[in-house]
Chain A
């Protein structure tokens, strides 16, 4: 693995870990980070988020990661921790370009 790929993966893992902490500390989900699979559904039978938590989730993510998540992106980005990470990365990239 070269340095560029390592850096890309490390950045992604960092965002995933931050999102896990947001779900636990900001949204109050009683979850073990080790069991918060990145492909687990955020809602319902997955990690247990409820739709009423979405505004708090968005606010916490934006504050913690310094991005302004677009409404259209949120419609199709809140499936899993991985898809939310994709949205954060894409939003940050758009902001930088």
Chain B
């Protein structure tokens, strides 16, 4: 493999691989806890080869996407919106960042689709006879991400100080073949870099080298998953595949209800009838620091006075939160935060659990002014403790 090959660079960095959405991905490089700590302290470098990037262009691009996408397509050039693409049932298909390119075309950064699935989804639903071109960018490009309270500082070293002026949910083209989208799912500053495949390895090496002085490190998908759970950010691979609709997932704010989109009718019907279940945050009792780890696992039953009221959808031990945290899909009347009367089945025991409102941590980026003082001055920032919720 050539030195410019991202796969070679990831292997050299010690990537432990797995499969996600039918694509080989770097799951971790060191321990997940260490990688999350890096992401919360400085900057984490991630390769996201499973992200599907599609460009929709042509005279009728907006008309083609109009009946499909639950977002107002009259986006200003260079701006982006986080939304979803749904199945007709109202269940999520992909988590989507939809951007408007400089030439008026649309860039879709989608998570949750296997190779070719997004293009097939669009082609099956775009009205016939429209002048539109759909390009799957996977062959020529791959996404590298930088996340962390000082991700902006690292990126500025690579791309120049002008990147500091890129607002959230905006994209730019540093070159004809690359795109930078300011977006992320960890609660920290985040940037997605769509880089040419023949340059991605060199980009990765450069980010690592420049990031050394700020202790930036590779971060795999398992750490990103945990960081996403910690900040309560929707995961298409986790709660997105639990059979919950966008309504039950609490994602209706991402949808433009004043227009047609795939899945709208199903959601309206569910809204009229009332959702059967809803997602709610869960926190285990006890403190990790106290050494009392009352955890719970995905798939476990949640009960109120012995009666089954839901199940755990996601669970993880979070050093940052100082507790076991997770998400439960509960019967709608029971799915509220602040309740300390539920239990979770665990190895034959009924363990107390409390419902809570994510985020479970205070993302450091909220307290770091982008472009002001950098990583070397990090101790001067007045930042609350990472764990947001007091242990029981």
B381 contacts across to A, CB distance below 8 A: none
B341 touches A47 (CB 8 A): no
B333 touches A35 (CB 8 A): no
Which of A1, A34, A72 counts the most chain B CB atoms within 10 A? A1
A5 touches B357 (CB 8 A): no
**Per-position 1/0 for B326-349, Cβ under 8 A of A:** 000000011011110100000000
**Per-position 1/0 for A34-67, Cβ under 8 A of B:** 1111111000111100000000000000000000
Interface set of A (CB-CB < 8 Å, partner B): 1-2, 5, 8-9, 12-13, 32, 34-40, 44-47, 72, 75-76, 79-80, 82-83, 85-86, 89
Decide if the interface of chain B is mainly helix, strand, loop or mixed. Answer: loop
Size category of the binding interface on chain B: 20 to 34
A82 touches B337 (CB 8 A): yes
B362 contacts across to A, CB distance below 8 A: 76
CB of B82 closer than 8 Å to a CB of A: yes
Q: Looking across the interface, which residue of chain B has its beta carbon closest to that of A35?
A: B252
CB of B81 closer than 8 Å to a CB of A: yes
CB of B202 closer than 8 Å to a CB of A: no
A8 touches B339 (CB 8 A): yes
A35 with B336, Cβ < 8 A, contacts A5-B304, A40-B250, A76-B388 known: no
B334 touches A45 (CB 8 A): no
A79 touches B359 (CB 8 A): yes
A9 contacts across to B, CB distance below 8 A: 333, 336, 339
Shortest beta-carbon distance from B281 to chain A in Å: 8
B251, B254, B384: which contacts A75 (Cβ < 8 A)?
Answer: B384
**Per-position 1/0 for B364-392, Cβ under 8 A of A:** 00010000000000000000100010000
A-B contact pairs, 20 of them (CB 8 A): A1-B304, A1-B334, A5-B304, A5-B339, A5-B341, A8-B338, A9-B336, A12-B336, A13-B336, A35-B255, A37-B252, A37-B253, A39-B250, A39-B358, A45-B82, A79-B358, A80-B232, A82-B337, A83-B357, A85-B337
B169 contacts across to A, CB distance below 8 A: 44-45
CB of B121 closer than 8 Å to a CB of A: no
A86 touches B357 (CB 8 A): yes
Q: Looking across the interface, which residue of chain A has its beta carbon closest to that of B342?
A: A5
B357 touches A35 (CB 8 A): no
Kindly state the separation between the CA atoms of A89 and B253 in the bound complex, as whole angstroms. Answer: 24
Kindly state the separation between the CA atoms of A46 and B233 in the bound complex, as whole angstroms. Answer: 11
Which of A2, A39, A86 counts the most chain B CB atoms within 10 A? A39
CB of B276 closer than 8 Å to a CB of A: no
B250 touches A38 (CB 8 A): yes
